[in-house]
Amino acid sequence: MDESIGWPDIMGVGVLAGIGFTVSLLVAELSFPPDHPAHDDAKRGVLVASLIASLLAAVVLGLRNRRYREWEQSSPDDQEA
């Protein structure tokens, strides 16, 4: 792993991958007949999980972005005369 990438970065991208819900919606659609009560519950569950994953990823990656900005501002400039 590159030294500039830390485990929190990997975790943030992993959480962000949790919003990939199109296949899950397809599986939910094919798993239950349209008139089955679990049909709508499965779709709602997938959408809620995707929402939670996107919010969590925004928090984790936002904190990492803030940390990288702090590190960048605290490092000495390369263009000193």
Q: Is residue 81 a part of any domain in this protein?
A: no
Domain span at residue 49 reads: 7-70
Q: How many CB atoms lie within 10 A of CB 24?
A: 16
Residue 64 lies in a domain: yes
For residues 39 and 28, the answer to whether their CB atoms sit within 8 Å is yes
Domain tally for the chain? Answer: 1
pLDDT at 47 over 80: yes
Q: How far is CA 67 from CA 32, 51, 53, in A?
A: 45, 24, 21
> Which two tokens mark 61?
């990656």
pLDDT tens for each residue of 59-78: 988 888 888 888 888 866 65
**Residue 58 resides in a domain:** yes
Instruction: Tell me the torsion sign for CA atoms 76, 77, 79, 81.
Output: negative
Structure tokens of 39? 């049909």
pTM over 0.85: no
Report yes or no on 33 lying in a domain. yes
Taking only the tens place, the pLDDT of each residue in 20-30 is 777 788 888 88
Instruction: Establish if 79 belongs to a structural domain.
Output: no
